[in-house]
Amino acid sequence: MSLMPKTPAAAARASTEVQARGSGRLTLTRLLRDPASIASMIAILLIIAFALCAPLIAAWTGHGPTEQFRETGLTPEGIPVGPNSEFLLGTDQLGRDVLVRLAYGAQVSLLVGVLASIVASVIGIAIGTISGFSGGVVDTVLSRTMDLVMSVPFLLCAIALVSVLGPSLSLSIAVIVFFSWTGLARVIRGQVLALRHREFVEAARSLGASRTSIMFRDILPNLVVPIIVYTTLMIPAAIVFEATLSFLGLGIVPPTPSWGNMLADAANGSLYLVAWWMVVVPGGALLALTLAFNLLGDGLRDALDPAAVSKGKRA
Amino acid sequence: MTILLDVRDLAVDIPTEDGTVHAVQHVSFAVNEGEFFGVVGESGSGKSVMVQSIMGLVPGARTSGSVLFRDRDLLSLAPEQLRSVRGREISMIFQDPLSSLHPQYTVGWQIVEQIQAHEKVSTKAAKARAIDLLDRVRIPDAAARFDAYPHQFSGGMRQRVMIAMGLSLGPALIIADEPTTALDSTVQAQILDLLGEMRSEFGTTVLMISHDLGVLSRVADRVMVMYGGRRMELGAADAVLCGPAHPYTAGLLRSSSFNREPGTPLVPIGGRPPSLLAPPEGCAFRDRCPDAMSICGTKPPVRHYDDGTEVACWLESTPVEPDPPVLPPPSLLASPDDPIVKVDGLRLTFPQRRGEPRVVLDDISLEVRRGETLGLVGESGCGKTTLARAIAGLVAPTAGTVEFDGAPTGNLDRAQWRDLRRRVQLVFQDPFGSLNPRRRVGSIIGDPFRIHRLASGAERQAKVQELMELVGLNPEHYNRFPSQFSGGQRQRIGIARALALNPELVILDEPVSALDVSIQAQVLNLLDELQRRLGLTYLFISHDLAVVRHVCDRIAVMEGGRIVELGTADEVWNDPQQPFTRRLLAAAAPEIPREPRDRRLLPLSVAGAGQQPVSGHPADRHAADRIAVEVAS
C-alpha cells in the first residue's frame, strides 16, 4: 500500500518539499553541470592563488619582481635568456624573472579588474535605478549623460588625462570605471522600467510604501541576476582596459610589473622576435583570465536564468 | 460511426531538473468522426501536454502507447511525415490569439502561407480561398481585411482568424486548446458557436480542451475528465456532467459557482492536486476524495456503465454530497443609508498623443454600502479596474469626487493619504505577479506593518503568522518564497496582506479568475467567511457574471466607462433592463441540471480487475459488454 499522506495539509507540505530547494543551491548545481563553467572557475581560482602567492614565489626563486640579473638573466650580447632551470619562464630585456613579474602582475590585473568593475557596477546600478524609477526630466538628463559618456573616445580621453595628471594605478582605475558603468546602467534602467509596472510594485504602492522603500525592497532584489552577470562580464573588460593602458605607458608605472607593460616591454624594439616567451607568457595569462571570466559570466547567466537557455536551445 | 483518433495507453514523461514529470499516465480514448470531444481538467492535469504530444510538439518528452490517426501511429511517424499531418490533417488552435499570429505579417498572408506550405496552388487561388475562409468565420468585409495586420483585430477576431487558418487545409481534426479562455464572455460564446457551425459545415471533428465545465457543457458531445495525468471519467457530455459517477467530477461541479444557488457556500474540493513527479500508486484523487476508502490505495479499475460512461473508480454508488461549510452569521448588515464610499460624477480621461483624450470613466455615480459586497462586471477595457483604482485613491480623477467615509479623497496630504491606504486595501488579479518573487512570504505579509511602523521583530512575526492562520496557510511556511506556493495559496497570501491593517473596504480585482475551479471555490468561501467575521465591505470586480451573482449583494454592470445597470443581484440576474446586460447573461455559463441517471453499472470483468484495461474504444466496450453479459448470465 502507498505511504501517501492522509490529510490535504500533509499532501500540500509533501508536494512543496519537492521544490523547496534553495535558489542558491539550484544555481550551483546547474553551474557544476556545465564543464566550461567548472574549468573557468578552476582557472580563476588558480590565477588568484598564483597572485596571492607572488611573495612566496619571489622568496622561492630568490628573485624580486624588479630585481635585475644582468649576469645570469642575460646572454653576453644582452639578449634575455629563455626558460631554464633558474628562470622557469625566462627573463625580460633587463634580466628580470618573468615568472615572478607575472605573479605580481596578476595582483595588479585582478585588483584593477575586480575593483574597477565593482565600483563601476555600483555607479551603474545607482544611476540606472534612479533614472528608470524617477522618469521624466531626471531620466532624460541621466540617459543623455550615459549617451555622452558612451560617445567619448576612450583612448584619446585616457591619453589626455594621463598627460595632464601623470600615470598611476588610481588614475587607471578611475578611467576604467568612467568608461564601464554605462552598459550596466542602461540594462538596469530598462529592467526598472519594466518592473515598475508590475503588480507587486502597484501592491506596495497601494499599501502606502514610500518610493525609497519600493526601490530598495521591491525592485532591487529583482535585479540581482543581471547585476551578478554583468559585473562578472565587466571584470575581463576592465582587465583588458588596464593592460591596454599599461601597454601604451598610460597605466601602471614601471618598474611595477603589470601584464600590459610586460607586453609593452616585449614589443619594445621588437624583442619578441628573439624572446617569444616575453609575449606568450603574459599574453597567454591575459587570455586565460579574460576567457575564464567571460565563460563564467555566460555560465552564471544560464544557471541563474534557466528559462532563457531552454528557449535558446529549442529555437 | 468510425473512429478518427484512437489513443491507447498513452503515457508522456518529461524529464526536468527536479526529476521526471509523469504528465500523462496511461490514458486511452477514442474520438469518433464528426463529434465534438471535450477534455476537461484543472491546470496540471496533463490535458495540454497530452494533445501536444500527440502532435509531437513537446520537446524532450518520452512517450509510450499508441495514437492511431487514420490507421497511422502518430507517435512513430518520422518528423517529416508528422509535419505533413500537422496543419493538413490535424490543425491546432491555441489559447492565446495574441501570440499565435505573427505580428509582422498580414493575416491574409499568413493564411496563404499556410495553404502554400502544404499544397501547390497559385498565390491567387490561395488568396481567393483565404478570403472565402475569412468570410466564413464571419469576418466582416473579408476582402478588405485580408491585408490587415493582427494588431488591427480584436481578440475575438484574431481567434476567428486562427480558426480560419485551422480550417484552411480542410483538416479532418481540429484540436482547440482552451480557445476561448483569453476572451470576454460574450465573445467566448460567439467563438464556441462558430466552432460548432464550422463542425457541421466542414464536417470537421473537434477535440477541445478546457478547464471550464460550463463551456464544455454547452458544446461537447462526449467529455473526458482528467486529473493528475489520468483519465477519471469518460462518456456522453450530459451523462458525465448531469450525473457524474466519479467523485472528482461531482466535486468540480459542486465547486463551480454557476452551478450553485447564489448565497449558498460552494463546496470546495479540499487540498491540492498530487505532484506529477511522484504520482500516487492508487487513485490520484484519493487524498481529496470525500468517498475515499481503504481500497483506493490500489489502482482503481475502469468500470463501465450501460450508457457508455466509463469511470476509473472503486466507488459503485453515486458520489456522496458533502455538506456545505457552515458560515458564521454576518457581523454587519448593509443598509442603504450608511455608505462607505460615495462616488459622484466621476470622470477620468487619459491624454493621447494624437487627437481627443481617451475617456476611460464617464460620469460615474455610485455608492458602496458598509458591509455589502458590490459586484462590478463588464468586459475587458470597460474601465472597471480603473474605477476601482480611482476609488482606492491610486489614480486621480479628471472630474467628480470620491468620498470615503464622508471625507473627500481629492486633495489629501501625505499623512492622510497613508491613512487612507490603511482603510482601503486591494487584492490583485494575478497571484503570480502581485507578489514580489524575490521576497519571503513573511516579509510580504509583514509589509503593511513595516510601512506603517506598527509592529516589528517578534511582534510582527507573530501577527503575520496569525494572519496566515486566518487565511488558511500553514504559519510554518513563513520563510518560503512565493514560487513555492500554488496559485490558490498565493492568492491567500495576497488576501492576508490586504487584511493586515484591518481595512474597512477591500477591493477585489478579479481575485479568482486566474485560479482553477476547485481552488476558486476555496478562495470565494474564505472571502465570504472573512467578510462575515470581520465586517468587511467588498468591491468585487469580475468579468464572470456567475461568480459575481454568487457572491455579491448588488451588481453594477459597466460598459464603455459607464455604469449601465445597477441593482440587487437577483434583479440584475432575473430581470435585466439593458441589452448589454442581457447579452452578458446569455453568454454566462448555463446551470447544469443535476438529474439522477437511470443506468446500470456493469460488473467488473474477471480479467480486468486491478489492471488497466484498454478502453474508451467502442470495440473494446463491446468486448467488455460481452464479458459483462457472460458474467451476468
In this structure, which amino acid lies at residue B259?
A: N
Contact B480 A213 (CB under 8 A): no
Q: How much is the pLDDT for A125?
A: 92
Q: How much is the pLDDT for A306?
A: 54
How many Å apart are CA A4 and CA A112, to the nearest integer? 57
Q: Say if residues B253 and B213 touch (Cβ distance below 8 Å).
A: yes
Contacts of B499 in chain A (CB under 8 A): none
Give B583-628 as a 3 state SS string.
HHHHHCCCCCCCCCCCCCECCCCCCCCCCCCCCCCHHHHHHHHHHH
Average pLDDT, chain B: 83
Domains in chain B, CATH or no CATH each: 3-274 (3.40.50.300), 340-429+503-587 (3.40.50.300)
pLDDT class for B605, splitting at 50, 70, 90? low
* Contact with chain B for residue A199, Cβ under 8 A: yes
Contacts of B275 in chain A (CB under 8 A): 14-15, 18
CA of B474: how far to CAs of A2, B70, B438, in Å? Answer: 25, 52, 20
What angle do the packed helices A277-304 and A224-247 form, to 10 degrees?
170
Summarize chain A as % helix, strand, coil (round to 5). 75, 0, 25
* Contact with chain B for residue A312, Cβ under 8 A: no
Give the mutation candidate from B269, B296, B447 for the A interface (greatest A CB count, under 10 A). Answer: B447
How many Å apart are CA A250 and CA B550, to the nearest integer? 76
Contacts of A4 in chain B (CB under 8 A): 274, 280-282, 286-287, 297
* Digit-coded pLDDT (tens) for B510-525: 888 877 887 888 888 8
Distance of CA B619 to the CA centre of its chain: 34
Pairing type for strands B230-236 and B222-227 reads: antiparallel
Supply the DSSP symbol for B220: -
Pairing type for strands B90-93 and B62-69 reads: unpaired
Q: How much is the pLDDT for A19?
A: 44
Contacts of B480 in chain A (CB under 8 A): 16, 20
Half-sphere exposure of B303 (CA within 13 A, CB side): 18
Contact B275 A18 (CB under 8 A): yes
pLDDT class for B620, splitting at 50, 70, 90? very low
Contact A208 B436 (CB under 8 A): no
Contact B434 A15 (CB under 8 A): no
Give the mutation candidate from A1, A15, A192 for the B interface (greatest B CB count, under 10 A). Answer: A15
* Contact with chain B for residue A25, Cβ under 8 A: no
Residue B615 has pLDDT above 50, yes or no: no
pLDDT class for B39, splitting at 50, 70, 90? very high
Q: Pull the grid cell for residue B297.
A: 490505495
ipTM greater than 0.95, yes or no?
Answer: no
Q: Pull the grid cell for residue B540.
A: 468585487
For residue B542, the SS3 value is strand
State the average pLDDT over residues B593-600: 76
Contacts of B494 in chain A (CB under 8 A): 203
pLDDT class for B625, splitting at 50, 70, 90? very low
Q: How much is the pLDDT for B261?
A: 74
- Rounded to 5°, angle at Cα A110 from A109 and A116: 90
Edge-to-edge strand ranges of the sheet holding B562-568: B424-427, B505-509, B537-542, B373-377, B554-559, B562-568
* Contact with chain B for residue A28, Cβ under 8 A: no
Give the number of other CB atoms < 10 A from CB of residue B458.
8
Q: Pull the grid cell for residue A184.
A: 550596466
pLDDT class for A23, splitting at 50, 70, 90? low
Contact A207 B18 (CB under 8 A): no
The DSSP element (H or E) to which B460 belongs, if any, is helix B457-470
Pairing type for strands B173-177 and B554-559 reads: unpaired
Highest mean pLDDT among A54-63, B32-41, B268-277: B32-41
Burial of A24 (0-12, 13-18, 19+ CB in 10 A): exposed
Contact B275 A206 (CB under 8 A): no
Length of chain B: 633
Contact A203 B297 (CB under 8 A): no
Q: How much is the pLDDT for A198?
A: 84
Percent of chain B's residues with pLDDT above 70:
95
Q: How much is the pLDDT for B38?
A: 92
Q: What is the CA radius of gyration of chain A?
A: 25
How many Å apart are CA B369 and CA B330, to the nearest integer? 14
* Contact with chain B for residue A204, Cβ under 8 A: yes
Q: Which residue of B has its CA nearest to A8?
A: B271
Least confident of A23-27, A56-60, A85-89, B203-207: A23-27
* Contact with chain B for residue A5, Cβ under 8 A: yes
State the average pLDDT over residues A67-85: 79
Q: How much is the pLDDT for A22?
A: 57
Q: How much is the pLDDT for B223?
A: 93
Q: How much is the pLDDT for A273?
A: 80
- Minimal Cβ distance to B271: which of A1, A8, A203: A8
Query: Whole-prediction pTM value?
Result: 0.76
Distance of CA B10 to the CA centre of its chain: 25
Contacts of A14 in chain B (CB under 8 A): 275
- Min Cα–Cα distance to chain A from B52, Å: 16
- Min Cα–Cα distance to chain B from A150, Å: 31
Give the mutation candidate from B434, B445, B478, B501 for the A interface (greatest A CB count, under 10 A). Answer: B434
Contacts of B435 in chain A (CB under 8 A): 200, 203
State the average pLDDT over residues B381-408: 85
Give B55-91 as a 3 state SS string.
CCCCCCCEEEEEEEECCEEHHHCCHHHHHHHECCCEE
* Contact with chain B for residue A16, Cβ under 8 A: yes
Contacts of B288 in chain A (CB under 8 A): 8, 11
Q: Which residue of B has its CA nearest to A4?
A: B280
In this structure, which amino acid lies at residue B54?
A: I
Contact A203 B497 (CB under 8 A): yes
Sign, CA dihedral B139-B145-B150-B151, equals negative
Percent of chain B's residues with pLDDT above 90:
8
- Considering only residues A5 and B437, tell me which one the structure prediction assigns the higher pLDDT: B437
Half-sphere exposure of A3 (CA within 13 A, CB side): 2
Residue B619 has pLDDT above 70, yes or no: no
Distance of CA B413 to the CA centre of its chain: 42
Q: How much is the pLDDT for B207?
A: 92
The DSSP element (H or E) to which A161 belongs, if any, is helix A154-165
Q: Which residue of B has its CA nearest to A1?
A: B297
Q: How many CB pairs under 8 A join A and B?
A: 119
Q: How much is the pLDDT for B628?
A: 44
Q: Say if residues A265 and A93 touch (Cβ distance below 8 Å).
A: yes
Q: How much is the pLDDT for B608?
A: 43
The closest alpha carbon to A92, from A247, A253, A268, A245, belongs to: A268
Q: For residue A19, which phi and psi values (nearest 5 degrees)?
A: -100, 10
* Digit-coded pLDDT (tens) for B141-192: 888 888 888 888 887 888 888 888 888 888 889 998 888 877 777 888 888 8
Contact A13 B483 (CB under 8 A): no
How many Å apart are CA B61 and CA B21, to the nearest integer? 10
Q: Pull the grid cell for residue B499.
A: 487584511
- Minimal Cβ distance to B287: which of A4, A18, A198: A4
- Considering only residues B264 and B502, tell me which one the structure prediction assigns the higher pLDDT: B502
- Min Cα–Cα distance to chain A from B488, Å: 12
- Minimal Cβ distance to A209: which of B17, B429, B451: B451
Residue B260 has pLDDT above 80, yes or no: no
Supply the DSSP symbol for B233: E
Peptide bond into A255 cis (omega under 30): yes
**Dihedral over alpha carbons B460, B462, B468, B474 (to 10 degrees):** 130
How many Å apart are CA B263 and CA B240, to the nearest integer? 26
Q: Which residue of A has its CA nearest to B449?
A: A207
Q: Pull the grid cell for residue B465.
A: 503568522
* Digit-coded pLDDT (tens) for A82-104: 788 878 888 888 888 888 889 99
Half-sphere exposure of A220 (CA within 13 A, CB side): 14
The closest alpha carbon to A125, from A169, A167, A184, belongs to: A184
pLDDT class for B556, splitting at 50, 70, 90? very high
* Contact with chain B for residue A66, Cβ under 8 A: no
Give the distance between the most distant pair of CA atoms in chain B.
Answer: 86
Percent of chain A's residues with pLDDT above 90:
15
* Digit-coded pLDDT (tens) for A111-128: 888 899 999 999 999 999
Residue A12 has pLDDT above 50, yes or no: no
Q: Say if residues B424 and B503 touch (Cβ distance below 8 Å).
A: yes
The DSSP element (H or E) to which B632 belongs, if any, is helix B618-632
Residue A6 has pLDDT above 80, yes or no: no
* Digit-coded pLDDT (tens) for B271-314: 777 878 888 888 888 888 888 888 888 888 888 888 888 898 88
- Minimal Cβ distance to A218: which of B421, B433, B436: B436
End-to-end CA distance of chain B: 29
Contact A8 B270 (CB under 8 A): yes
Contacts of A218 in chain B (CB under 8 A): 436, 439
Give the mutation candidate from A1, A17, A19, A198 for the B interface (greatest B CB count, under 10 A). Answer: A19
State the average pLDDT over residues A139-156: 90
Half-sphere exposure of A13 (CA within 13 A, CB side): 11
Q: How much is the pLDDT for A8?
A: 34
Contact A218 B286 (CB under 8 A): no
State the average pLDDT over residues B438-448: 87
Burial of A298 (0-12, 13-18, 19+ CB in 10 A): middle
